[in-house]
A and B are shown apart, each in its own frame.
Chain A
């Protein structure tokens, strides 16, 4: 039973945390691709930017959350989402729109977004420095230890306060997005434009509005994902380097252009990462006695070391591109 608790803590909870963050990031990547048809490499930096906005606001008003009993960082999240959405719309107006107006190839847009990546990273470093910082400026990170009511179970299930917020906010964001895309006039127009931009225009849909709405949603979601990740670990200006590959892997695994695929892909990549670094010998240890004598159980039986976690999404990406380039949900090929 202790082994099971270990598995829950290290795989179920850790995988859901990583999966949620990748899923929210990948939704943004997939939406931007389906409307503007290019891979937005600066997306991970928009996530970092959102967390950076929360850091600035929390440092400025450290006591704002205490009165209502939630971490200040979470109180600042809606404001940070607005600022990140504004940044996304602004970046589009300043850099991507002129390129679109020239009718450039998608690869030019991708290179443009690499430039935006460098600019955003420079901007964040300029103000936040290069070291890691906690978003819990004035609050304490609550850690819940849930003991299981079974005989002989010593280890508790451990879950932290930001992880609970993460699960709740992810669920709310996904349901809200689903309702927006399927029930609202604007959301349906967005899907229509993704399906057939010429026909959308011929139906009188203003494609500029749809582009702006896409950036607002992608920016807002990026701020959520970046902030929740920084709450769970710490804020670092180079966070995006560890996010870029997994969120693109997630978007491609799910099928580019499919928001639900991106969610599924996020969890596939998140769980693949945690399963790959999980020490399987812990689970095998109770059955040690039934093993043949010549088989000795090593103390660490993980597929890859934690420091090589980033190769997992890379491997998934290569495998998907080789065997099923359209992804699980039959999306477009980048």
Chain B
């Protein structure tokens, strides 16, 4: 039973109710529920094929939602095209191909604010604040950067549109532990600046450690849903999903 505050509860930033969906009429998600508030970091973990990335793509309108509701700030958004979701304050960082390789770092970031060109200057400063290593690389093509720096460009590009919710698909995939910690560090900082974050992660333990909310998916359904700390402490979760 969640404890209800005395005043009316604030509206969730993102709410997913009983979402079924996948590629066309083929369902990969079989009833996923999620609630995320604006000041929270949500982490989706689970075994391969559990539908983690699928859920993220369904939220960002890249896949068909066949049943259930997805609400952003109380407004239904399921099956809206991605560019409209960007306008409504959603940012998405795909796992692969998440930069424009031949464009310079600065041009990559500018593309993120394509719909709000008047904000470019202000947002560039903010993004360089989050990711200081990008400042000196700003004139270099993004395709020449290391994996970690490329991830920073990708996240920076999404931040340029001033999203209220940032979706990250395995931001630390293929990165060294050093870079992984740095990325998680940035994620927390971005969240502290007022951006809600929902990310899919393979490095479940480290990700849950920074998560306000954790969603453990299996076979396209919620298996466990709790705070990150509670999930880490749960022996059942540890045994079946975190490798003991």
Asked if A201 and B100 sit within 8 Å, CB to CB, the answer is no
User: Roughly how many angstroms separate A159 CA and B149 CA in the complex, as a whole number?
Assistant: 53
Report the stretch among B80-88, B174-182, B186-194, B220-228 that lies at the interface.
B80-88
Which residues of the partner chain B approach A191 to less than 8 Å between Cβ atoms?
100, 102-103, 107
Interface of A is mostly: helix
Min CB gap B23→A, angstroms: 15
On whether A188 and B97 interact (CB within 8 A), knowing A201-B82, A203-B157, the answer reads no
- Segment 169-199 of A: residues with Cβ below 8 Å from B: 185, 188-189, 191-192, 194-196, 198-199
A-B pair number, CB within 8 angstroms = 60
User: Roughly how many angstroms separate A188 CA and B102 CA in the complex, as a whole number?
Assistant: 11
- Segment 151-210 of B: residues with Cβ below 8 Å from A: 157, 161
The reply on A206 being an interface residue by CB < 8 A is yes
Measured CB to CB, the nearest residue on chain A to B82 is A202
Neighbour of A203 across the interface among B60, B102, B112, CB < 8 A: B112
Residue interface bits B98-113, CB-to-A below 8 A is 1, else 0 = 1111110001101110
Asked if B87 and A196 sit within 8 Å, CB to CB, the answer is no
The reply on B135 being an interface residue by CB < 8 A is no
The reply on A120 being an interface residue by CB < 8 A is no
User: Roughly how many angstroms separate A200 CA and B115 CA in the complex, as a whole number?
Assistant: 11
Asked if A205 and B111 sit within 8 Å, CB to CB, the answer is yes
Min CB gap A213→B, angstroms: 14
User: Roughly how many angstroms separate A205 CA and B92 CA in the complex, as a whole number?
Assistant: 14
Asked if B103 and A201 sit within 8 Å, CB to CB, the answer is no
Asked if A195 and B101 sit within 8 Å, CB to CB, the answer is yes
Which residues of the partner chain A approach B76 to less than 8 Å between Cβ atoms?
none
User: Roughly how many angstroms separate A195 CA and B97 CA in the complex, as a whole number?
Assistant: 10
Neighbour of B100 across the interface among A185, A199, A204, A206, CB < 8 A: A199
Chain B residue total in the interface (Cβ 8 A): 24
On whether A198 and B100 interact (CB within 8 A), knowing A185-B117, A189-B111, A192-B111, the answer reads no
Min CB gap B170→A, angstroms: 16
Min CB gap B119→A, angstroms: 12
Asked if A195 and B102 sit within 8 Å, CB to CB, the answer is yes
User: Roughly how many angstroms separate A200 CA and B83 CA in the complex, as a whole number?
Assistant: 9
User: Roughly how many angstroms separate A200 CA and B92 CA in the complex, as a whole number?
Assistant: 12
User: Roughly how many angstroms separate A199 CA and B158 CA in the complex, as a whole number?
Assistant: 10
Asked if B117 and A192 sit within 8 Å, CB to CB, the answer is no
Asked if B100 and A195 sit within 8 Å, CB to CB, the answer is yes
Which residues of the partner chain B approach A201 to less than 8 Å between Cβ atoms?
82-83
Which residues of the partner chain A approach B115 to less than 8 Å between Cβ atoms?
204
Asked if A204 and B87 sit within 8 Å, CB to CB, the answer is yes
Min CB gap A177→B, angstroms: 16
Which residues of the partner chain A approach B117 to less than 8 Å between Cβ atoms?
185
Which residues of the partner chain A approach B83 to less than 8 Å between Cβ atoms?
201-202, 204-206
Neighbour of A192 across the interface among B82, B94, B103, B161, CB < 8 A: B103
Asked if B97 and A198 sit within 8 Å, CB to CB, the answer is yes
Asked if A199 and B114 sit within 8 Å, CB to CB, the answer is no
Which residues of the partner chain B approach A200 to less than 8 Å between Cβ atoms?
100, 111
Which residues of the partner chain B approach A195 to less than 8 Å between Cβ atoms?
100-103
Measured CB to CB, the nearest residue on chain B to A182 is B107
Which residues of the partner chain B approach A204 to less than 8 Å between Cβ atoms?
83, 86-87, 114-115, 161
Which residues of the partner chain A approach B161 to less than 8 Å between Cβ atoms?
203-204
Asked if A205 and B114 sit within 8 Å, CB to CB, the answer is yes
User: Roughly how many angstroms separate A203 CA and B114 CA in the complex, as a whole number?
Assistant: 7
On whether A188 and B94 interact (CB within 8 A), knowing A195-B102, A202-B86, A204-B87, the answer reads no
Task: Point out which of A202, A204, A205 has the most chain B C-beta atoms below 10 A from its C-beta.
Answer: A202
User: Roughly how many angstroms separate A194 CA and B107 CA in the complex, as a whole number?
Assistant: 14
Min CB gap A217→B, angstroms: 18
User: Roughly how many angstroms separate A219 CA and B82 CA in the complex, as a whole number?
Assistant: 31
User: Roughly how many angstroms separate A196 CA and B142 CA in the complex, as a whole number?
Assistant: 12
Which residues of the partner chain A approach B99 to less than 8 Å between Cβ atoms?
196, 199
Which residues of the partner chain B approach A198 to less than 8 Å between Cβ atoms?
94, 97
On whether A203 and B111 interact (CB within 8 A), knowing A185-B117, A191-B103, A195-B103, the answer reads yes
User: Roughly how many angstroms separate A192 CA and B104 CA in the complex, as a whole number?
Assistant: 10
- Segment 94-117 of A: residues with Cβ below 8 Å from B: none
Asked if B82 and A188 sit within 8 Å, CB to CB, the answer is no
Task: Point out which of A188, A198, A199, A203 has the most chain B C-beta atoms below 10 A from its C-beta.
Answer: A203
Min CB gap B181→A, angstroms: 26
Min CB gap B161→A, angstroms: 7
Measured CB to CB, the nearest residue on chain B to A205 is B114
User: Roughly how many angstroms separate A191 CA and B108 CA in the complex, as a whole number?
Assistant: 10
User: Roughly how many angstroms separate A192 CA and B114 CA in the complex, as a whole number?
Assistant: 11
Measured CB to CB, the nearest residue on chain A to B141 is A195
Of the A-B pairs whose beta carbons lie under 8 Å apart in the complex, a sample of 28, sorted by A's number, is A185-B114, A188-B110, A191-B100, A191-B102, A192-B107, A192-B108, A192-B111, A195-B102, A195-B103, A196-B97, A196-B99, A196-B100, A199-B97, A199-B100, A200-B111, A201-B82, A202-B60, A202-B86, A202-B94, A203-B111, A203-B112, A203-B114, A204-B86, A204-B114, A204-B161, A205-B83, A205-B114, A206-B83
Closest 8 CB pairs of A and B: A195-B100, A204-B115, A204-B86, A192-B100, A204-B83, A192-B111, A203-B111, A202-B82
